[in-house]
Structure 1
Amino acid sequence: MHTSEQSRRHFLSHSARITAGGALLASGMAGAAADTIVSESTCKDARQVTSITKPHYQLRNVRLEESFEREGGTVVATNTALYDLEISQGKIIAIQPVKNRVAPSLPAFDAQGLLLLPATRDMHIHLDKTFYGGPWEAPRPRKGKTIMDMIAREQTIIPRLLPDSVQHAEALIALLQAKGTTVARSHCNIDPVSGLQSLAHLQTALQKHQQDFSCEIVAFPQHGLLHSNVDALMREAMQMGVQYVGGLDPTSVDGAMEKSLDAMFAIALDTHKGVDIHLHESTPAGIAAIKYMIKTVQQNPQLKGKVTLSHGFALSVMQGDELKEVINGLAEQQFSVASTVPIGKRSMPLPQLSEKGIFVMTGTDSVIDHWSPFGTGSMLEKANLYAQLYGNPDEYGLTRSLAIATGNILPLSEAGERQWPVLNADAEMMLVAASCSAEAVARVPEVIATFHQGWLVAGTVQKA
């Protein structure tokens, strides 16, 4: 196949012709021509594969972003072209325009002009306690319920979830993969009800997927570190291969902000682990907690760059100099922030955090559990929400919004130069039915294939 640089408009016109052909077939107007189309379609289906067994292969006819198209100083479209990629041992080792193709000596698969994007990352999810994979069950009403009421409710639910939690976690992993996600960070309950069982079950599920899914674990004292007296259990979890010490609302749950945070940080310091704390509090207590954490990291330099503030709703109520001071403090101590990009009366200052160099991540949090039924597992959907909430409806803004879903990996730089994929980059990628990343963020198209460390872990490609 020979191709020249194509803009989104060219690609869409080609797609329209394909759609028109499909409509013609459906209407039965093509006679013998329709028989030919059906025959070709059947052959193509027979060539589809759901796994790639060779670690060294070629992926042909991949659409990569090349540059921005501008009118004056305004980005109005994204130019793309077709390439052949060579994958070996989980790395992209060659990137060649299709016009330079030589006779293949490797197993080859056809991407059929689909757009290649970096795989997405779900950096805040609870794989250990999901309803997903089981029968439909809506959460019980939360109106008028406090977080302590929800914790009491969870204490009755956990024993019911535990027997099937491995299967449910695997089902949720499969959903994430189908949506383009290959890397995650899962919080896992450490509580008096389940003890270390939830952790053991989650590790069993992840062990079964160690070749096709990467996941960090946060030991999460969902019922309160002090309130549920799980310090010893948390320390035991740290010896079981857990990467992060979790925490939860130190004032509203534990009733002692400094004591709770000190206990959390003490575990991290003693075990040389990172910290990822749920902080939902948007009261003055939440603001005080963020400031106290900044001060604690400043006093303990070994924690610098190892603390994630999850949710951090108190940031949404700060303004002016106070917000500026706190953001500067988070940046200086190299905090990261994990946000589900919440919809509400107040908006999280996510763009301001990114502008200061703070690593902003997103996650599903819940696909469906006793807290919420609304998750889809799609990080592209989170990028779409980010673009809507923060006013990025244009071509350039949409391309930048993708960053929150991919760990800041973007195909084009701010200047419009291709910066991904590059030689020797990890083959963490997905093929999507879109002409460019702006369209992928705006329209949240289907993910056709997902690759982790070069392996096809979800969807299909065709044999070339």
Structure 2
Amino acid sequence: MMNAFWLTNVRLDSGFEKGPDGVDHTLTELSHLLIEDGRIARIESADQPLNTPLPTQDAHGLLALPSFVEKHNHLDKTYAGAAWKSCLPPKKLIDRLQFEEQEMPLISGTTKQRAQAMLSWLLAGGATHVRTHVNIDPFIGLKNLEGVREALESYSDKMTYEIVAFPQQGLLRTKASDLMRQAMREGATHVGGLDPAGIDNELEGSLREMMDIAVEANADVDIHLHDPGTLGFYTIKRILDLTEEARWQDRMAISHAFALGDVSPEESTEMADRLAQNGVQIMTTVPINRPMPPVPILHEKGVRVALGYDGFYDSWSPYGTGDMLEKLNRLVERYRWVDERSLVQSLFFITGGKTTLDKEGKRAWPMVGDEASIVFAEASCSAEAVARRSRRAAVMFKGKIVLGELENAAIGAGE
């Protein structure tokens, strides 16, 4: 065997048990994981002696969680790695875009360095995958794409990534179609879009141009949709119409989708059915200052919902740390998911759909064959890690510790 070792004394969720107080508790057990070529090849109970000629690495009872996925980010905009700077409060969205139009060319020379600084924060929080949007417009051209791509390539041994070509200034408004097509040839993996009505002022034409670019590039789509209320809700309907027309099922994502939270539960439930039928994902940042997509309804209907930090510490917002567990903690607090099972199941939203236990309490992760990308947390179980935002001691990516260390972890962490 090549690149094989035993990861010993790893704490894993193993089930639920109702206590005498009527409260569900998560059971855990210590296990040994055989890591081979970046994957989990065997799982053995730590109760049994381990006789092996292979190297061993002791996790000292740290809790294992599936590594995190950051599904909505803007690596090119951040002030990370630079001197502290807060924001200029805008009066409306177009003011923000005009400020960015002036600012982005001035900071484009440091895109790679700033993106790397943000990636270090994401990794420290446990993320080993990031989807980043990158501005593509006449003011910046492809400079941001080049810098972000270089930053991501420098982290390719620590995380995987997707790059969305994002017409932040408006696809039709700035006649960015040719640049978008070029971006798809030069490293972008997804086609982005932005408020076809609110920014481009041409809902139908903007959506069709976005879809044309995606079909030509054979690429998935992720559109920012901030437009609220009836306008935003109708835009979602048209996105679904074009998804069906182009047969782009399972290849569409709508970020923000605030309008889903502006309509009645009956309307959002009906729309959720259609979103699920077409495999359209919803990306949310869990905003605190406005309605948001009804995550419980969407999740129940089978719509894939994922969380992202969006841009943080940039001209749009000085807030945020890049810690996806912190973002998840906001979600569970917003919906008052206070019981053990709900807390465990919430991991779904930051792990690409993985949870340590299924709803019945049977182990769902890790399983033999899974990629050995693991977050090691100082917690007694995953419910505690989510609720208390437990400290992460180390992060493993495909069988390699890429942040922190296990050697100096507290013995019996989480006990």
- TM class by shorter chain equals over 0.9
Q: Specify the SS of the correspondent of 1:435.
A: coil
2:104 to 155, 158, 171: 158
User: Which AA in structure 1 matches 2:304?
Assistant: F
The secondary structure found in structure 1 opposite 2:47 is helix
Alignment partner, residue 197 of structure 1: 143
Q: Which amino acid aligns with 2:145?
A: L
Distance 1:113 1:320 in 2: 44
CA offsets per residue over residues 95-134 of structure 1, 9 Å max, x none?
1111223234222211111100000100000111210111
**CA separation in 2, counterparts of 1:212 and 1:309?**
27
Distance 2:163 2:344 in 1: 30
Give SS of 2:234's match.
helix
How many correspondences in the alignment? 408
- 1:110-160 Cα offsets, whole Å, 9 max, x none, are 111110000010000011121011111111113xx2211111100111122
Matching residue's letter, 2:131 = R
Rounded to whole Å, the distance in 2 between the matches of 1:231 and 1:67 is: 52
The 5 A counterparts of 1:318-357 are 318-357=263-302
Shift of 1:346: 2.5
Of the three residues 254, 257, 278, the one matched with 1:309 is 254
| 1:109–1:463 contact (8 Å) kept in structure 2 | no
For the 8 Å contact 1:410–1:420, the answer to whether it is kept is yes
Counterpart position of 1:184: 130
Within a 5 Å distance, the mapping from 1:242-321 to structure 2 comes to 242-301=188-247, 303-321=248-266
Contact 2:345 2:358 in 1 (8 A): no
The secondary structure found in structure 2 opposite 1:185 is strand
Greater fraction of residues in helix:
1
Q: Does 1:116 align with 2:61?
A: no
Deviation, 1:325, is 2.3
Mapped to 2, the partners of 1:322 and 1:348 lie a distance apart of: 12
Q: CA RMSD in A?
A: 1.6
Aligned to 1:38: none
Percent identity over the alignment is 38
Instruction: Flag structure 1 segments of 5+ consecutive residues without an equivalent.
Output: 1-53
Q: Could you list the per-position Cα deviations for residues 314-340 of structure 1 after superposition, in whole angstroms to 9, with x for gaps in the alignment? A: 111111442222212111111001001
Contact 2:394 2:405 in 1 (8 A): yes
Task: Return closer, same or farther for 1:138/1:342 CA change in 2, 3 Å cut-off.
Answer: same
Partner Cα distance (2:325, 2:105) in 1: 33
Q: What per-residue deviation string (whole Å, max 9, x for no partner) do you get for residues 223-247 of structure 1?
A: 0000111100000111123211000
Aligned residue among 94, 97, 107 for 2:45: 97
Aligned equivalent of 2:377: 432
Given the alignment of the two structures, is residue 139 of structure 1 paired with residue 121 of structure 2, yes or no?
no
Shift of 1:347: 4.2
Q: In structure 2, give the amino acid aligned to 1:442.
A: A
Q: Does 1:216 align with 2:162?
A: yes
Q: Residue 449 and residue 170 in structure 1: after superposition, are their counterparts in 2 closer, same or farther (change >3 A)?
A: same
1:367-425 CA-partner distances (Å, limit 9, x unpaired): 21000111111111121111111120111111122211111201111100111111111
Is the contact made by 2:74 and 2:134 (CA closer than 8 Å) also made in structure 1? Answer: yes
Alpha-carbon shift at residue 352 of structure 1 (Å): 0.6
TM-score under structure 1 length normalisation: 0.85
414, 417, 425: which is aligned to 2:359?
414
Judge conservation of contact 1:68–1:75 (CA < 8 Å) in 2. no
Mapped to 1, the partners of 2:139 and 2:87 lie a distance apart of: 20
Structure 2 unaligned spans of 5+: 410-415
Tell whether the 8 Å contact from 1:91 to 1:424 is kept in structure 2 after alignment.
yes
**Conserved in 1, the CA contact under 8 Å of 2:345 and 2:357?**
no
